[in-house]
Every structure is written in structure tokens, then in C-alpha cells.
Amino acid sequence: MTDEHDHADAHDEDDHDGEHAHGSDEGRETFSHDPIGHAEARAGMTVGELADEYGNGGVGAANVHEAVSVTEAMFDDDVTVFFGLAGAMVPTGMRRIVADLIRDGYIDALVTTGANLTHDSIEAIGGKHHHGSVTAEGKTEREHDETLRDEGVDRIYNVYLPQEFFATFESHLREEVFPPLEAEGVVPIQRLTEELGRANAAVNEREDIAEGPGIAAAAYENDVPIYCPAIQDSVLGLQAWMYSQTSDFSLDALADMTALTDIAYDAEEAGAFVVGGGVPKNFTLQTMLVTPGAYDYAVQLTMDPKQTGGLSGATLEEARSWGKLEKDARNVSVYGDATISLPLVIAAARERLEN
């Protein structure tokens, strides 16, 4: 009798424990009943539908899904969008994506590198980047690059650029871009990027170049300013310096800060879409430090880890501590190769906005 009673008590206790373990989630402040789903990938689905499926998953998939949502909100007509573009995005085939965003009114100010503008111009006037390889069969990477050096080919990971296109670019600058600026003397860097866009568009049309006129041309034609705060760190900057040695032409490195800050100051709402890190990222984000507001939206596509303490890997949450983002800003970072994430995020956001 006693054994049965003890067994019954034990059974009741087990039931109570089970109810506690598997019952209501009331009182769990950190738990929200939002179970992970399982993404579907099927033939014929659109990129927007794929992005929706990413929302069922966790880790990076969830971040991509959120990036699409924040980008969709950021691309609203009432939001002033600052677009930061670092890294080798033009030579790796991302040029048209950015040019189309400018032409279609999604970007209000572009901050980029002299390198991207250099490669953009090379394509605009008839040059091309080519698929290549990191190494060659039977050779070490160093031996492969020594061969490329002898053959006059520059390598950007698995992309090749024949060096003769830099000579064509130099002639383009000296014949089409710098002379109109020489009469103006010392000019803002943005004035140079504007003239570069004008010249790229003109030569592209005159020479009937198969490739489109590109990013700088789109910005010129649509009155979107391009800021290039580290222009010296590029072939474009080197050529500008060389031309300044024998002419009255020169660049004012501080002048652009006034114009960019004015755009930020006048924005009712502001968004930052940042591809990569470095100077374009910081120059884009720091603009808000001298305005009454901060960014309301921010998306970052990066491969850099936060643990180094460097700006390129710094999280957008860290930027909030500086006052670059509003406390209630919608922001997300996507970690991975931006040549993979940029087309996906932009295509999905545009699908939602335009369909």
C-alpha cells in the first residue's frame, strides 16, 4: 500500500515537472514564441520570394531578410539616402546596380573611393575587366603574379585588368576632365567627380561604347553628388596630383564637408546604406555628428569582424553610441561577400517597392 502511494506521489510530481518544462511561456522576458521555419527554394521563385524565405531561418539568413526590409523602408521618397561604396565593387561587376539606383532616384549622395571611380571610368570609355584566376596550374600564386606582371596584367583577386587601360584613362583625364577644371583653380573634390561624370557620359556616347556610361555619369545626369574623401589613394588621385604639378588645378579636401553636411542637416529622415568599410563608411556616418539628428535607417554589408576594434568592422550599434544613429533607428549588418549580398538585398527591396 505504501509503495503504491509513493509511486502515485512520484507520478504526480513528474506530471507537475513536465507541465513546468513544456507549458506556458508566460514570464519569460527573453522568449517570444516565433519558431524557426524551414526555407523553401523552388524553381521559378522571384528574388523577393527568396528573401521572404530567408526570414524563416536564423543566423545570416535572418539578417539578410531584415536588410531587405530596412532597405525597403529606407528607399521611401521621404528618406534622404547616403550610399557608401568601398571595396572593389566596380571591377567585380557591381557597377550597374549602383548606377541604376542613382538613375532611379534611390540614392541622394554617394560616398566612394577613387579606385571605384577609376574603374568606373575605364569601363565608361571602352576598357573592360576580365575573369581571371588566383593562380595558374603548375604555378604558385607568386609565380602566377610574376607572369601577369611580365604580361602587363593587373590582378584583383580573380579579376584581370590589362594595364593599357590605365594609359587610356590617363589620356581621358588630361584631355577631357582636367582642362575645364584648370580655369577654376582650386576646386572641391565633388566638382572633379562631377566633371568626371560629364566627360564619361560624353565619351561613352560619342564613341558608341557598348558598356553603359556608369556610376559617375549617372550621378552627373541626375544631379547626385559624389564625394570621394580619400581620392589621393587611387590612380585617379595620382593623376590629379601629377596634373597639378604643371597647372593651376588643385583640389580642396575640406570643401565637400560643407555640402555633404548641408544635405544631412536638411534631411527630415536619413538612411545610410554602407557597402564595405574604410573611409566611405566613416565619412558617411560621421556626417551626422555635426547635425541635430542622426540616421533613422542603416544597412551595412561587410566582411570585417568587430573584434579588431577597427572602423571597418565596427557594428552599427557601436555607431549608435557615437550619435551617428538614432536610438530607435532600424539597422542591420549582413556579414559576407558584398558581391553576393548586394544584388540580393537590392533586387528584393526593389521588387517589393516596384511590383
Distance of alpha carbon 336 from alpha carbon 85, whole angstroms: 15
Q: How far apart are CA 331 and CA 44, in angstroms?
A: 31
Q: Judge whether 324 counts as a catalytic residue.
A: yes
Residue 116 in grid coordinates: 571605384
Residue reference for cell 524551414: 38
Torsion angle of C-alpha atoms 112, 117, 118, 121, degrees rounded to 10:
170
Q: At CA 281, angle to CA 261 and CA 201, rounded to 5?
A: 75
Only one residue has cell 521611401, namely 76
Cα–Cα distance measured from residue 256 to residue 235, given in angstroms and rounded to the nearest whole number: 20
- Decide: 80 and 291 in contact? Cβ < 8 Å: no
DSSP letter assigned to residue 276: S
Interatomic CA distance for residues 142 and 284, integer angstroms? 37
Output the nine-digit C-alpha cell for 74: 529606407
Nine-digit cell string for 284: 558617411
Residue 170: partners with Cβ closer than 8 Å, 6 or more residues away:
239
> What is the SS3 assignment for 70-131?
HHHHHCCCCEEEEEEECCCCHHHHHHHHHHHHHHCCCCCEEEECHHHHHHHHHHHCCCCCEE
CB of 89 closer than 8 Å to CB of 97: no
Q: Which of 128, 306, 324, 327 is catalytic?
A: 324
Q: Which residues of 330-346 are buried (b: 16+ CB within 10 A; e: fewer)?
A: bbbbbbeebeebbebbb
Q: Backbone phi, then psi, for 36, in 5-degree steps?
A: -65, 135
The set of catalytic residues is 324
